Structure 1
Amino acid sequence: MRSHPLIDREHLTAQTFGDADLAREVLGLFAEQCRRLTPAILAEGPAAERADLAHTLKGAALGVGAGRVAGASAAVEASLRAEGTAPDGPELAAAVAATLALIEEDGANPGT
């Protein structure tokens, strides 16, 4: 299995045109999305709705270069669509937690 970075700094820098303030803002918005979507994805509920939320989180993660969250979200989405269950839920939760910790830790310097 290929290892994904928590945050691909080069991708984030390209997406934010090298603007560190914009990178901080984008990462803050992404962190809010993670905190809002992850519990709903992992909760009991209709598989199709949870898969849609996982798809949304995957897109947001790809936008900021959060590779591990994107990969885990994709796995959860695929499982929910195919099987109606999310056995990769703990992996998603761990990826989100690690990425949020990195965002908080590096909050003052997202482009490095």
Structure 2
Amino acid sequence: MRRRGSSGAGMEFDYLEGFAAGDMQVVTEVLALFQGQAEGWRVKLEAPGEGWRDLAHTIKGAARGIGATALGDVADRAERGDASMAPELKTALDATVADIEGYLTRIGGG
């Protein structure tokens, strides 16, 4: 069974749990790192400029690495598109972070 966040962001927590061999300390640490990175990405998404594709690529890789499928898909389209996709990517990022926050609260890690 895949556990998805309440916002429908497509966060597959079982993917990360499996990758971490069920070590919930590792899961919470990885998600905390992602949340920290997301803060910086949000700022850059407010005024995307040069390096836009690199930013989208970075978000795509990080998202796919933790099982944030929907965010990874949006970031992939953004990477192949242009900076006009920044609002959509920011919305997907915000939804994923909200899912992570809810998940961490449910497991007692947030």
Tell me which interval the TM-score lies in, with the shorter structure as reference length: 0.7 to 0.9
Following the alignment from structure 1 to structure 2, what is the Cα–Cα distance between the partners of residues 44 and 58? 16
Which residue, out of 77, 80, 84, partners 1:78?
Answer: 80
Gaps in structure 2 of 5+ consecutive residues: 1-7
Give the equivalent residue in structure 2 for 1:82. none
Following the alignment from structure 2 to structure 1, what is the Cα–Cα distance between the partners of residues 13 and 48? 34
- In 2 relative to 1, CA 54–44 (structure 1 residues): closer, same or farther, beyond 3 Å? closer
Between the two proteins, the alignment pairs up a number of residues equal to 100
Gaps in structure 1 of 5+ consecutive residues: 80-84
Please list the CA deviations of residues 38-57 of structure 1 after superposition, one character each: whole Å capped at 9, or x if unmatched.
331442421xx121111111
What is the one-letter code of the residue matched to 2:11? Answer: I
Following the alignment from structure 1 to structure 2, what is the Cα–Cα distance between the partners of residues 45 and 86? 7
Normalised by the size of structure 2, how large is the TM-score?
0.79
What is the one-letter code of the residue matched to 2:61? Answer: G
Decide whether the 8 Å contact of 2:12 with 2:68 is kept in 1: yes
Find out whether 1:7 has 2:11 as its counterpart.
yes
Decide whether the 8 Å contact of 2:45 with 2:87 is kept in 1: no
Find out whether 1:25 has 2:22 as its counterpart.
no
